[in-house]
């Protein structure tokens, strides 16, 4: 029987890279995780991005919460462990739309997805798998020695309830607007 792999959990703003067999796990909602893997050196890592782009000058050295920091830090850690930037492949997960009151195109999830996809394209890192968008949260398990990622969907039960409440509220407002108001004439 093979010994169990070490498990490492990362959270918002976290990242982890290794050349050893490890299972990195995280839970994602509107955040995005990028799993990078060098299949030749078998070095891999994952980040957990909260916001796209880069931080303002006050927070520039903060952890990997911001997209540009998260991607650059992960690539640097992997290459520092013997991985080759030109051999990296990517798997991208997350970016759910969890806030029905915000139009989906303005949501953090889609902005995170767009940022990561543009970054990987610009850096010429091939995306070999992705599971992004939707309304469910995800728990992912990245095996750094094989590059395999296992995904478990976490149904966001409250999403449909929130949507229904928002639609009911919208209908009440629309009905109120349609009713004529009282008119007071002055003498």
Task: Name the residue ranges covered by the structural domains of the chain.
Answer: 6-178
pLDDT for 21-34, tens place per residue? 999 999 998 899 99
- Give the other-Cβ count within 10 Å of 12's Cβ: 16
pLDDT of residue 46: 98
Contact of 18 with 81, CB cutoff 8 Å: yes
| Residue ranges with strand state E in 6-125 | 6-9, 15-18, 22-28, 32-38, 43-47, 89-94
Q: Which CATH number fits domain 6-178: 3.30.1330.200, 3.40.50.1370, 3.40.47.10, 3.30.70.1400?
A: 3.30.1330.200
Residue 142 has pLDDT above 90, yes or no: yes
What is the residue whose two structure tokens read 């990987």? 120
Least confident of 61-70, 78-87, 133-142, 178-187: 178-187
Q: Name the residue among 94, 74, 110 with its Cα closest to residue 32.
A: 94
* pLDDT of residue 44 exceeding 60: yes
- Alpha carbon 171 to its chain centroid, in Å, reads 33
29 or 42: which leads in pLDDT = 42
């Amino acid at each position: 029987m093979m010994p169990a792999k070490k498990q490492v959990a990362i959270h918002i703003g976290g990242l982890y890279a290794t050349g050893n067999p490890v299972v990195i796990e995280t839970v994602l909602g509107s955040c995005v995780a990028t799993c990078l893997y060098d299949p030749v050196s078998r070095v891999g890592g994952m980040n957990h991005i909260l916001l796209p782009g880069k931080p303002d000058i006050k927070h520039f050295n903060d952890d990997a919460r911001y997209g540009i920091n998260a991607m650059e830090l992960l690539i640097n850690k992997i290459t520092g462990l013997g991985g080759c930037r030109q051999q990296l492949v990517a798997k991208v997960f997350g970016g759910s739309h969890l806030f029905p009151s915000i139009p989906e195109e303005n949501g953090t999830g889609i902005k995170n997805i767009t940022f990561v996809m543009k970054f990987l394209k610009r850096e010429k890192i091939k995306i070999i798998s992705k599971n992004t968008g939707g309304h469910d949260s995800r728990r992912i398990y990245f095996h750094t020695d094989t590059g395999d990622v296992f995904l478990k969907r976490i149904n966001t039960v409250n999403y449909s309830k929130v949507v229904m409440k928002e639609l009911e509220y919208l209908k009440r407002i629309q009905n109120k607007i349609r009713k004529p108001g009282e008119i007071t004439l002055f003498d």
